A and B are shown apart, each in its own frame.
Chain A
Amino acid sequence: MRRWLPLLLALGLAACASTPGHEAVSKARGPLDTNAAVEHSVDNRAVALLWDKAERARRDNQLDEAVAALERALRLAPDDAVIWSRLAELRLQQRDYAVAENLAAKSNALAGNQRLLQYRNWLIIEAARQRRGDEAGARQARERAEALHGS
């Protein structure tokens, strides 16, 4: 039951959020279920195409290709916090933990008031730190994530 609470809260927050580029998490089994598709609407057609390409590649388990597509997208839209976050998730899947944490931190710096996104990023950072054996750091990340729930 406890696992679903964050998701419900997150969806609730998403409903309240009025920031640009908000995302819909569909059929997620948890907030950080990277197997779920993430929709991301952007103004730039090229970025949208690259995002779709990355999602398709990820579904086919071609992670290198997905990463490359997102990196290309970032050169066109360097301030898009969602792309940085998705890239961080891919790196997490590839076990590049240090890089995953760095990219998630960058996404946070660009996230402005997108609390759901920041929440996701802190969960990525928690997972990255945990798998590198940094228990204390992982706990701190978890606390930051939880703090985004309240208020």
Chain B
Amino acid sequence: MAKRSRRSSRRSRSPRRRGWVRLRPWVLLVAGGAFAFAITSFLLLDVRVRAQFGRTQWRLPAHVYSQPLDLYQGRYLSEDQLVDQLQALGYRQDGALDKSGHFDVHGRDVDLHTRGFGFPDGREPERRLRVRFAGSRIAAAHDAAGGDVIARLEPQRIGSVYPGRQEDRVLVRLGDVPPELVAALLAVEDRDFFEHWGVEPTAILRAMVANLRAGHTVQGGSTLTQQLVKNFFLSNERTLSRKFTEALMALSVEWHYSKEQILEAYLNEVYLGQDGQRAIHGFGLGARFWFNRPLDELDLHEIALLVGLVKGPSYYDPREHPRRALERRNTVLAVLAHSPSIGEARARAAMEQPLDVVDRDAVQLQAYPAYMDLVRSQLARDYREQDLKGGGLRVFTYLDPQVQGAAEAAVRERLEALDPGGRKQLQAAAVVADTATGAVQAVVGDREPRRAGYNRAVDARRSIGSLVKPAVYLTALSRPDAYTLVTPISDAPLQVKLDNRRTWSPENYDHRNHGRIPLIDGLVHSYNVATARLGLDLGLDQVETTLERLDVGDPDGIVPADLLGALSLSPLEVADMYQTLGAGGFDAPLNTIDGVEGPGGAHPRRYGLDVHRVLDPEPVFLVDAAMAEVARRGTASALRQRLPDRDVAGKTGTTDALRDSWFAGFDGRRTAVVWVGRDDDEPAGLTGAAGALRVWADMMHSVPPAPRRASAPAGIEWARVDPDADRTLPSGCTDAPRLPFIEGSLPPRAQHCGGGEPLGGR
């Protein structure tokens, strides 16, 4: 030992000393670098923390309103519907008509005294009205002077949003929460909250000891600040490095914000439950979710339960594990018994109470969750956050409660009929919009429309199948020199060699080929082969151009399979496409928001109506006529029975192996799209006609009728035709069908009504 040290010291003294001198600048450099790195990391973390925290801060919600109910002569509305709406608005049926907010019913007359309302486009005065009904419409709407009016009731408040937040919240202010809540929270989760710096080493130690003693986790060592910071992350890693980062972030939060601010943020962020795919955050929302009451109305035993849930909302879920929940709640109450502000007596009394948690079905967190979801994202997309921050904003939407009600009932009831109890796992979505203006009137995202979570109307992208076919036919009809609705096209078997040396050989649904057919029949009967042939003849790039104009193009171009709808779209995107087809080639962006206004009517901002001509109206008119035939004698002919007096047009869509069932169509005023299928993309076993079409028909049946317009655009000529012979007929041939043609493209005229020679082949 001594020898070695002597030898080593003798040998290495000089070199070691020299070595150390050589090392010193490097050491400083490395140390300096490490220090700089640490500071930078901390600063970046700090920036992130402040950004996240900023989002949690309390602010006034924006109130969101539906489209107001218009009352005018001729409007399709029943007395019951009016009375329902008045009751929903809190009007009293007591005949005290000298005050606003009251109404009375005599026979088929409704007398009311409206409340005024300040709309962004002007003030609707408070006034007395008499509304008389006849049949299913308003026969007369008069004011006190007996004059005709068009009156608007106040719009219905359908929800609140916090601009900048996508999820649902009920924010609370620290000063407004029950004091027992704060007392309980601190006592159970973080006794020294007001004293510590964000992390508490002693608490961690204390927890370790308590947990070791108990043999399992009874105490957490995290402060409220640390728990808050944990919520800023999306994933729930429990690694050492993550814990370290969280500790640093907690310090950062304490550095910038006061204890009160931190506590308030915590109250609004803490995770308190799971509702399907949607997480319940914050005590305000938690109170509604578990007790269906506002937080400030809760009693001690209910508050104690909420505080108890903080530790593990799934583990202590009172609906799934009521005994565990009760035990946990009483543990909290036991701690509170020692708290001076609550005391033994109150705590003991509370422990005797039942849980008092309400059934999930009794809770309606938000009416119209799918519609509100779209409102939120459009608000975020179209308004800068600072415009919305003022608080007390009012957001006016196009939601039509009548149409939304019809859509929800149709989806819910038809899905239950198609799939009782959900054993087949079918799901559905629906979108309804005003064709001419793009105003979105209804959105349904789930077969149980009031369930919030996955909004299939907006977020489910599914193969559209035959819904793409109108785009192919439109491409052809845009070339009137080559194609009309009766131009013969081939439905003969087709084999296409693809790039990857495979052969594509599409088949019709009936597995037959139909020889030469008039072009219109390819769409009416949704023949895959004829459509594929037509698309290939036109050229994929031409069809792609049409798809781009309809805003559903693929920047990578299309392949033959896309002619039959291999591309995937959401129901909302399909509605956008069919809106353009229904509006004569004029694209109106689908929009939920009519206008936004600050408190007291400050800074009103309206979305003005704008349309873009993306397609020539004449070929679109021809495709619309073909789609009317789809509803009359084609794949959607069931509509003739279900909607006998309606003038509708549309297209069924079925994807391979019956995975998706679609129907997209329009009447004179609305465009509506329905999708039915399974979330896991397994076959639903329904064609478009068997599934989505039924829902669509039910929905449109409950919505006021609107005939499609009588007149064609200039440049269109109608003629009697023999479609199988590609001939027009003398106008006296009243048995023959009438079809529209672009001027100058009419086929030759046959001499008599018997027509020309048939096209040949079957």
Contacts and interface: CB of A to CB of B under 8 A. Distances in A.
A106 B613 contact: yes
Nearest to A87: B609
B611 A106 contact: yes
A134 interface: no
A102 B610 contact: yes
Nearest to B147: A49
Contacts of A141: none
Interface in A95-114: 96, 98-99, 102-103, 105-106, 109-113
Given A45-B73, A78-B436, A68 B606 contact: yes
B122 A112 contact: no
Given A50-B150, A68-B121, A110 B584 contact: yes
A52 B427 CA distance: 47
Interface string A77-107: 0110000000100010000101100110110
A56 to B, nearest CB: 11
B585 A109 contact: yes
A50 B150 CA distance: 8
A72 B151 CA distance: 12
B437 A78 contact: yes
A71 B585 contact: no
A17 interface: no
Given A78-B436, A112-B713, A102 B148 contact: no
Interface string B356-383: 0000000000000000000000000000
B437 A75 contact: yes
Kindly name the residue among B149, B434, B435, B610 whose own CB sees the greatest number of chain A CB atoms within 10 A: B610
B74 A74 contact: no
Interface in B103-138: 120-122
Contacts of A106: 586, 611, 613
Contacts of A98: 610
A65 interface: yes
A94 to B, nearest CB: 9
Contacts of A50: 150
Given A45-B74, A78-B435, A109 B617 contact: yes
A67 interface: yes
A113 B120 CA distance: 37
Nearest to B439: A75
A79 B709 contact: yes
B714 interface: yes
B612 interface: yes
Given A112-B712, A112-B713, A74 B75 contact: no
A63 to B, nearest CB: 11
A143 interface: no
Nearest to B70: A46
Nearest to B617: A109
A44 interface: yes
A86 to B, nearest CB: 13
B121 A46 contact: no
A69 interface: yes
A22 to B, nearest CB: 14
Contact of A71 (B74, B435, B437): B437
A71 B588 CA distance: 13
B608 interface: yes
A64 interface: yes
B584 A109 contact: yes
B338 to A, nearest CB: 63
B714 A112 contact: yes
A147 B462 CA distance: 48
B743 to A, nearest CB: 13
B696 interface: no
Contacts of A113: 714
Contacts of A75: 434, 436-437, 439
A96 B606 CA distance: 14
A99 B149 CA distance: 30
A109 B620 CA distance: 11
B288 interface: no
Interface residues of B, number: 34
A74 B72 contact: no
B613 A102 contact: yes
B669 interface: yes
B72 A49 contact: yes
Contacts of A103: 609-611
A79 B621 CA distance: 14
Interface in B247-267: none
A134 B4 CA distance: 95
B5 interface: no
A69 B149 CA distance: 14
A115 to B, nearest CB: 9
Nearest to A91: B608
B500 interface: no
A78 B434 CA distance: 9
Interface string B169-198: 000000000000000000000000000000
A69 B585 CA distance: 25
A45 B137 CA distance: 13
A109 B613 CA distance: 10
A73 B617 CA distance: 22
A37 B585 CA distance: 31
B235 interface: no
Given A102-B612, A109-B613, A68 B122 contact: yes
B611 A64 contact: no
Interface in A106-136: 106, 109-113, 118
Given A45-B74, A50-B150, A99 B713 contact: no
Interface string A8-51: 00000000000000000000000000000000000011100110
Contacts of B14: none
Contacts of A111: 714
B72 to A, nearest CB: 4
Given A45-B74, A49-B148, A78-B437, A109 B586 contact: yes
Contacts of A46: 70, 72-75, 150
A92 to B, nearest CB: 13
B81 interface: no
A75 B585 CA distance: 18
Nearest to B585: A109
B713 A45 contact: no
Given A46-B73, A46-B74, A69 B121 contact: yes
A108 B523 CA distance: 28
B202 interface: no
Interface of B: 70, 72-75, 120-122, 148-150, 434-437, 439, 584-586, 606, 608-613, 617, 668-669, 709, 711-714
**Cβ-closest 3 pairs across A and B:** A68-B121, A78-B436, A46-B72
25 contacts: A46-B73, A49-B149, A64-B121, A67-B608, A71-B609, A72-B70, A75-B436, A75-B437, A78-B435, A78-B436, A78-B668, A78-B669, A79-B711, A87-B609, A98-B610, A103-B610, A105-B613, A106-B586, A109-B584, A109-B585, A109-B586, A109-B617, A110-B713, A111-B714, A112-B713
